[in-house]
Every structure is written in structure tokens, then in C-alpha cells.
Structure 1
């Protein structure tokens, strides 16, 4: 993998995503659109259908589901660790949002186009099941931790139980496990949901940024979220790959897929969830935008360096 090829690969999704963000800014300022109903639409309709379709088409096997479980566990541990460390230094709402951000990343909107170029079809499938683990974290423990910044334990649990993505995940497992046939028209109609998810998810960042005032910028929150994403996560993904190589042994494709999860920018869903819960969406939007701009500069360096460390011999 040449550095020039990797840089070109990263620039294509970057400009596409930034164009969607810019479109969101225009909509917020010129059309006065409220992004909150769009955030609810993403969480309660578009995301569940997207996950259901991806899981059914992926053909889950025990090995693939172990990838999902592994990423879910790592993301959850990162969330709990950062949440505990952040509590003495940030207000409850900001600490909860920072904890949520620590466990997730833009594995879908940004990482998937890169994975489709760098990996073989088998590697892309492995990456997709890693992505599902992070999505599952976002709408279970991650959502709960974010909600706890504003709501009681009972209210937070109630909000999680209302999330259809959890049930979409379980239904997809049943459908795949029992090999239940689905109408072709249903699966063809669901093809529009993944690109819609990307478009609206990035536009929400722009809509939120369109309302940001300089007085609302928080360098501490932005710096902490970027430090976790680009400082701690690459080390965690490297540790996971080295541990798997030393124990069960994994191929180069899976190693690259896991390393990619560790170096993509902050998740756009950070803004979506903050918007839905009424948290600090403006701070989240600025942090996500900055991390997306930084990603093309640091990802080639990270991936080449990390791959050199995990290469056999």
C-alpha cells in the first residue's frame, strides 16, 4: 500500500463528507431548518433499517459475530474509562458526552469507503461486523451514558428500550440464523437507507455548526475528545491486533480492518445522539468537524506505522 494511494483514498470521502456538512450549514442559515427531527428520524428509522440490511446481507457467522462482540466490549470499556477520568474535570453533561465519544468513531460514513478500497471483499465483510459492534455500542451503553448526563437511571433505561436499533439487530440475527427468505422488493427498497444515513448524518453536523457562536466553543472538550480518538484509540487497536496475533493468529486483512477502526475520526452520531438528548450538540459538532479535517493528515502516518509494527518478522 503506497502512501500516495492511501492519501488519495482518504481525500475522496473527506471532500464528499465536507460537502454534506456545507450543505447542512446552508440549510440551517438560509432555510432555518431544525436538525432535531432529522436526528430522531436517523435514530428511530434510518439507522435500524441500515443495520438490519447490513447484518442480513453480511451473513453472520460465529466468527463474524465475535468481531462485533469484541468491538462492542472495547468501545464500552473505553467509554467507562474516559467517563470516570473526565468526571472530576467536566460538568456532568459534558463528561457524559465525552465518555460517549470515547467509545465510538466514524467507522461508517468515513471508514467504510476507505475500507472498500484497502481491503478485499472478505476484509470489507470483517470490517462491517466491526462497524456493527460500534453501532451496537452507540445505541446501548453509549446512549445510556449520554442520557445520564441529563436524566435519571430509570429515564435513561427507558430511552434505551425505546431504541429500535437493538430490536433490528436481534431480528436480523433470527432471520439470518433461520435462513428466513425476505422479499426481493424489501431488500431492494432498503438500499436507499445507507446513503441516506450518511447524507443526513453529516448534514446534521453542518446544521448544528450553522448555529454555533464562538462563545460556545470549548477547547478543553475538543482537545480531550481528539486526544482519545487520535491518541488512545490507535494504541488500543494496536494492542488488540498484537494480542490476537499472539493467541489465535489473524490474517493481514483482519489486522488492517481492526487498525482502521482505531484511526478514523470522531463519529457523526456523536452529534445525532447529542441532538436527540438535548445535550451539547454544538460542542460535539465542532469536535467532529475538526477530527474529520485532521483525519487525512494522520491516518496515512498511523496506518503505515501500525502496519509496520504488526507485520510478521
Structure 2
């Protein structure tokens, strides 16, 4: 049931959006650069601000954040190792780093958490008492991933083609850093940002993240020569979908061993889901924006998204066995 539910309610809609983008570009030759600018300067900042402002994070947030950064660092090291073994150039190195460091925790992650904690054994008397805790942890993961993706990931994508100075200049021209600061100031100053006239615009813009991002991927796919047997794409996909969930499990057990209670059973399953979801869609968008191996980045996103329908189901089942 879970397997087919994931396919029907998560994978099919996402791939339909990709197909829509593919068809629209074939029919009208759309400008993918314009869509990427819309994402970077309006949609992503709106999503980050509204989520960061509204979410009340758990007491163990610092530990969970440390574990997220730890796995990102491992992704950085693994990508560097693969690059040396496969003799990647700077473009491929940075694209591989982004692929292994950043996950699709916003789109697939949220959908999976809602799915898992809205069904047995997490349903009690027709209610979903564990869903709120799960969503708080999921939003925490998403916020950290989104901030780092839109700073570190953006830097790495630009670094493949630009100098360090030029890349930093691009990063600081992006609004995400200032939006993050503004959300923290609004949150801790006591100002009610929901009464600000721009709040409805940010909510509506943030809700457009998934469709605009996936349609943009579809446009890029239409312009990309797909190599289904590309060894580099498959190597990155296998490492991402099989190695990192097990690293996530090891991180959960290590954290609970060092500081008991770091991960509750609910938080453990949410963290495992985070480790098992595919590559973040925005890594391909950044590759398109900076012309940083866009074909490789796009194919890794699509490959891991397709394969994750099978791998995620396995790790969700494993999480039930280990933590319930």
C-alpha cells in the first residue's frame, strides 16, 4: 500500500510536472533563465521566510542540526573522493558535491512525512498525534537544507565556472541571506509578520516552489541529450540512495549513544526519510543558471527521483522495524 501510495501521490504528480515543462518547451521554446530568476529572487526566499518564521523548533534542534551538517560534510568528502578516483574537472566536482550534500527534503520529504505519520501504526483512534512532532522536525531539516543549499550550494555551483571572488559576489547578490536574517529578526523581535501586507504574496509565492522548479527541470530535459547509461550519473545515484541512508542510521544511533534522547522514534524516522530522499531539484537549477554541467546535474536529479520510489519504500519499512 505504501509503495503504490508513494507512486500515485508523490512520484506521478512530480513527473507529470516535468512532462508539462518538457512539452511546453517543445511547443513554445520557453526561457528557462527567466524561470530560474523567478525561483531565486521570489519563490525560494518567500518559502524560506514563511517557514522559518512560523515553525517552533524542538529542544533537541541543536543536535539534529549538528547531525545534518555532519552528513553534509560526509557528502562533501565522498564527492571529493569520487572526483579524485574518476578524474573529474572542477565543473563535475562541484556538481557532484551538490548532488551528495543536498536532498529533496522540501518536496518529497514533506509528502513522505505526512504519508507515513497519517497511517498505521501512527494513527490512534482515528487521530494522528505524532504528525505534528514529525512535521516540526521535517521543517527544521528543510530550513537548514534550504539555507545551506542557497548559500553553500549556490557557491559551489558558481565555483565550477567562476572564480571564488566572483562566486561570492553572486551569492551576496542573492536575496536568501538577507531573507534569512529578516525572518530571524521578525521572529525574535515579536513583530507579527503575518500582518505585513507582503505576507500573502510570500505565502502564495512559496507555494509555487514545486511546480515552477519541476517545470524548469522539464524544460532543461528537453534541451539535454539523455544518456541513460551514463556511468557517472549512476555512480552518484547509487551512492546517494544506498550509502547515505545507512550513514543516516549510524548517525542516529551514535547521537543517541552520546546524548540519550537526541532522536525520539518519530524524529529518527523523519531523519531517515531525509537521508533517503533524492537529490534536491535546485541543484539542477543552479547548474542551469551557471552552466555548470547542467546535463549531468539534471540527469542525476531525475535518475535519483525515479529510483527513489523503490529505495525510499525500503528504508521507510526499515525505519518501522527499527524504531517502532
**Do these two structures clear the TM 0.5 threshold for a shared fold by scoring above it?**
yes
Are 2:34 and 1:19 aligned? no
Per-residue deviation at 1:47? 0.5
What is residue 108 of structure 1 aligned with on the other side?
106
Residue 71 of structure 2, aligned match among 53, 69, 74: 74
Q: Can you list the C-alpha shifts for 1:12-69, whole angstroms capped at 9, x where unaligned?
A: 1111101110010011111100211211221122101100000111134664355345
Are 2:38 and 1:41 aligned? yes
* CA 1:88–1:163: 2 relative to 1, 3 Å: farther
What is residue 27 of structure 2 aligned with on the other side?
30
TM-score (norm 1): 0.90
**Greater CA deviation, 179-188 or 189-198?**
179-188
* CA 1:61–1:307: 2 relative to 1, 3 Å: closer
Q: Can you list the C-alpha shifts for 1:194-246, whole angstroms capped at 9, x where unaligned?
A: 331110111111001111224x6671221122022112211221112112222
8 Å contact from structure 2 (residues 283, 297) kept in 1 = yes
**Structure 2 residues without counterparts, runs of 5 or longer:** 118-130
What is residue 255 of structure 1 aligned with on the other side?
268
What is residue 240 of structure 2 aligned with on the other side?
229
Moved over 6 A (4+): none
Q: Secondary structure at the match of 1:262?
A: helix
Per-residue deviation at 1:310? 4.6
**Structure 1 residues without counterparts, runs of 5 or longer:** none
Over the aligned positions, Cα root-mean-square deviation in angstroms equals: 2.1
8 Å contact from structure 1 (residues 75, 137) kept in 2 = no
Distance 2:194 2:323 in 1: 44
Per-residue deviation at 1:178? 1.8
Per-residue deviation at 1:101? 0.8
Residue 203 of structure 1, aligned match among 212, 215, 218: 215
TM-score (norm 2): 0.87
What is residue 271 of structure 1 aligned with on the other side?
284
Distance 1:128 1:212 in 2: 33
What is residue 155 of structure 1 aligned with on the other side?
166
What is residue 146 of structure 1 aligned with on the other side?
157
